Amino acid sequence: MANPLVECVPNFSEGRDKSVIGRITAPIKEIQGVTLLDVDMGSDFNRTVVTMVGHPDEVLKAVIECTMLASELIDMRHHSGEHSRMGAVDVVPFIPISGVSMGDCIKLSERYAEAVSEKLDLPIYLYAEAARGENRVRLPDIRRGEYEGLQEKIQSEEWIPDYGPRKFNPKLGATATGARQILIAYNVNLDSDNKGKANSIASTIRTSGSLVKDENGNKILGDDGNPLRIPGKFEALQAAGWMYDESTAQVSMNLLDHNITGLHHVTDTIREEAQKIGLNAVAGELVGLVPLEAMLTAGKNYHEDPDSASDSSLVDAAIKGLMLDILDEFKPKSSIIEWAISEASV
């Protein structure tokens, strides 16, 4: 049986001060049995995505210690950024890699929630596979209203925290934790400074689609009283329009299951949708790490002779096709999960 291996990808609401993130991630480097694979800081988002892997119990210990440090160093009362967020430690997902079941990861998220809520007097919501209600499965639903709307939201019967007090924590906000399959955070930049156009493309491709509105821009309700929606092109895809920087709009995505909707699917469709409105897709960006299989699948789409190509050659084709070498150098050995784990164990 394979050694139990779990991935944890905590998101911290700080992406500008390297010294703060250095202190928050220090426990990951110090705890035996845990490997720090990636630290992805985003200045405009003011958010850092950290990726660690290791033995389940040691990973849990590490992320709890990281959370305690973040609670001392991050104050949501002074936080602003482009990415939606509701807490200093915004989300803490546990992902099965090998020798670990989804049920095991659900238990890890519950153990994390219990420990942290007690230590920090922090409201915590369980999401994804760990969710205890349909309205809490999707992270965007839990985050809706963000930090600024949390004080009012937490008082409603619908949004009583799963762990911790039913009380607004002004310094830390709230945290979501859960268990999920590997998620790929992937963005495509446009040659435009119009966030609205990026969001229009996002609404066309994402699973939830777009709202149906009347000629005055008001939502149209169905017979059940819920807003009518036009379904998006893809399944298992979340997407929104953001700004990469002041002059570059971006379609920001989470691929929830790359076996259903792959990197090349969304990239090629964004190219097509952008051209319809006189724009071009100019760069791709992965946030955090990506499974090897997802890159190989994309590489087969872009390679001239995929049937005889090596894995390395397919990855190179994927890098080019997905435009991952435009914004910065893409380093496969540190950006692909399986290869990064191998490198770290050498």
Which of the residues are catalytic? 83
Q: Return the bridge partners of 50, or none.
A: 39
Q: How wide is the angle at C-alpha 91 spanned by C-alphas 23 and 203, nearest 5°?
A: 130
- Distance, in Å, from the CA atom of 65 to the CA atom of 281, rounded to the nearest integer, reads 40
Q: Parallel, antiparallel, or unpaired for β 175-179 and 124-128? A: parallel
Measure the CA–CA gap between 162 and 143, rounded to whole angstroms: 14
User: C-alpha dihedral over 310, 312, 313, 318, to 10 degrees?
Assistant: 130
Cα end-to-end span (Å), the chain: 21
Q: Are 317 and 302 in contact (CB under 8 A)?
A: yes
* Enclosing H/E stretch for 81: none
CB 251 within 8 A of CB 206: no
Burial class (CB in 10 A: 0-12, 13-18, 19+), 206: buried
C-beta of residue 27 within 8 angstroms of C-beta of residue 62? yes
User: Among residues 279, 283, 284, which one has the least CA distance to residue 294?
Assistant: 284
Residues 6+ apart with CB under 8 A from 21: 12, 14, 15, 39, 41, 48, 50
